Structure 1
Amino acid sequence: MTSANLELPAARRVQIPEPAARCASVIRRVAVLLFENCSFIVTVVLGEIFQAANESAVYANLNVRYDLRFLSATGGNVKCSSSICVWTDEINASHRPGLDALFVSDGAGVAAAAAACDERLVQWLRRTHANMIPVVPLGEGRRLFQAACGSAERQPAGSGDDVCGAQGVEERDHTNVRLELMKGALILIARDMGEDCARGVAEHVMPETLPALSSLLGGQPDSGSVDRVHIAARWMKENCQSSISIEDAARLVDMSTRNFQRCFKSEVGVTPSAYLLHARFSIICSLLTHSELPVDKIARRTGMGNGDRLAKVFRRHLHLSPTEYRTRARRVAGI
Structure 2
Amino acid sequence: MVYANGTGRLQVVRAVAPDTPSADMASAAKRIGVLIFEDFSLVEVSSISEVFSVANQVQPPADASGHAEAPNYSLLFLSSDGGSVASSCSMRIWTESLETRWMNACDALFIAGGVGARHARNDAMLKKRLARVAPKIPFIKAIGEGAQILAAASLDVQNRTLPPALSNPLFVAEQTLTLDDPKGPIAAALSIIKRDHGAALAREVSERSIPGAWQKLATVLDDTEAGGVRQKIDAAARWLRENYVRPISITDAARVAAMSERNFLRRFKAQIGLTPSEYLLRARLDASCMLLAATDLPIDKIARRCGAGSGDGLAKIFRKRLSISPTEYRMAGRRKQSDSS
TM-score (norm 1): 0.57
* Residue aligned with 2:72, SS: strand
In structure 1, distance between residues paired with 2:159 and 2:114: 18
After TM superposition, list the pairs within 5 Å mapping 1:209-288 onto structure 2: 209-218=213-222, 220-222=226-228, 267-270=259-262
In structure 1, distance between residues paired with 2:258 and 2:130: 41
Tell me the CA shift for residue 80 of structure 1. 0.8
Tell me the CA shift for residue 58 of structure 1. 6.6
For residues 135-163 of structure 1, the C-alpha deviation after alignment (integer angstroms, 9 at most, x for no partner) is 01001101111221344x1x411123433
Structure 1: gaps spanning 5 or more residues: 15-23, 227-264, 273-335
For residues 74-109 of structure 1, the C-alpha deviation after alignment (integer angstroms, 9 at most, x for no partner) is 111111122110001111125532111000001222
Matched residue, 2:42: 40
Q: 1:118 aligns with which of 112, 119, 123?
A: 123
Tell me the CA shift for residue 120 of structure 1. 2.7
Corresponding residue pairs, total? 222
Tell me the CA shift for residue 45 of structure 1. 1.4
Matched residue, 1:248: none
Say if 2:163 and 2:220, in contact at 8 Å, map to a contact too. no
* Residue aligned with 2:174, SS: helix
Structure 2: gaps spanning 5 or more residues: 1-8, 63-67, 233-256, 265-341
For residues 178-197 of structure 1, the C-alpha deviation after alignment (integer angstroms, 9 at most, x for no partner) is 96111111111011111111
Q: 2:73 aligns with which of 58, 66, 74?
A: 66
User: Would you tell me which structure has more helix in proportion to its own residues?
Assistant: 1
1:119 partner amino acid = A
Say if 2:107 and 2:139, in contact at 8 Å, map to a contact too. yes
Say if 2:206 and 2:214, in contact at 8 Å, map to a contact too. yes
* Residue aligned with 2:40, SS: coil
Say if 1:30 and 1:68, in contact at 8 Å, map to a contact too. yes
Say if 1:126 and 1:148, in contact at 8 Å, map to a contact too. yes
2:173 partner amino acid = V
TM-score (norm 2): 0.56
For residues 235-291 of structure 1, the C-alpha deviation after alignment (integer angstroms, 9 at most, x for no partner) is xxxxxxxxxxxxxxxxxxxxxxxxxxxxxx99434459xxxxxxxxxxxxxxxxxxx
**Residue 209 to residue 166, structure 1, CA distance change in 2 (3 Å):** farther
Superposition CA RMSD, Å: 3.5
* Residue aligned with 1:221, SS: helix
2:13 partner amino acid = N
